[in-house]
Amino acid sequence: MRAVLGIGNPGNTYSHTRHNIGFMLLDYLAGKLNLHFKAAKKDYYYVLGELNDSPFVFVKPTTYVNLSGTAALDIVNNYKIDIEDLLVICDDINLDTAQLRLKASGGDGGHNGVNSIIYHLQSDRFPRLRFGIGRNFPQGKMADYVLSPFNKEEFQLLDNSFGFASELIVEFIKGGLKASLDYYSKSIKNLKPGGNETPPAL
C-alpha cells in the first residue's frame, strides 16, 4: 500500500489558502476518482482506494500544519507503509505559483509541516511533491501570505498543474516514486516546441 498525505490547516477559514495546497490537490484528485474522505479515530481525514490492483490511502491531517507528523506516523504504523511509499504534498514559497518539484527525500526546506513529519518519522526518506505558491510578500509578512487565499489569476495557473500533479500521484500509487519520475521525464520529451503546455519545474 502507498499513502499520499496533503499538508494543510483544518477548517473553512483556511480551505483555499496557499498553505492548504496539499488539501486542495487531494480533494481535486479524490473528486476525479469519486472518493469521499471520512474522519478517522485519530487526527486526520482519510479515504481508501485502489488503482490497477495497487491499494492506497489519501490523508488530510486535522491538526495544524506544524503538527502534521502525528497523522503521518499513525498512517505509516497503522497501514504498515514503508516510508519511501509515503508521498507528502506541501506548499513551497521558493517555487513560482503552480510549479512542481518532486523529490525522493531531503530536509524540510523551512516548511514546519515537513519538519514535523521528519521529526515524528525520525527520517527524511519520504518523497515529497512541493507545489509552488510564489513569494509575492514583503519582508516579515510570510505568515500572512501563506495563510491568505489564492487570487483569481493564481487559480487559473493551478488548474493545469492540478491535472498534471494528479497524474504524477496516480503513477506513484501504481509504481512508486520511480514511476512518477519516469512519467515526468516522458512528459517533458513529448512537449511541442513553442507550445504553452510546459510542465512545472522538477
Dump pLDDT digits (tens) for 130-185.
999 998 898 989 999 999 999 999 998 898 899 999 999 999 999 999 999 999 88
CA distance 202 to 129: 10
SS3 178: helix
Q: In this predicted structure, what is the pLDDT of residue 159?
A: 84
- Reference 33, options 58, 61, 64, 67; nearest CA is 58
Q: What is residue 184's predicted lDDT score, i.e. its pLDDT?
A: 82
Choice between 192 and 159, residue whose per-residue pLDDT is larger: 159
Within the chain, what is the greatest distance between any pair of CA atoms?
A: 51
Considering the domain delimited by 2-189, tell me its CATH architecture: 3-Layer(aba) Sandwich (3.40)
| Catalytic positions | 19
Work out the angle at residue 81's Cα, subtended by the Cα atoms of residues 77 and 87, and round it to the nearest 5 degrees.
Answer: 115
The confidence score (pLDDT) of residue 193 equals 44
Reported in sequence order, the residue ranges of 14-63 that DSSP labels E, i.e. its strands, are: 38-39, 44-51, 54-61
Partner residues linked to 60 by β-bridges = 45
How does pLDDT run across 83-104, given as a tens digit for each residue?
Answer: 999 999 999 999 999 999 999 9
**What does the alpha-carbon distance between residue 96 and residue 84 come to, in Å, rounded to a whole number?**
27
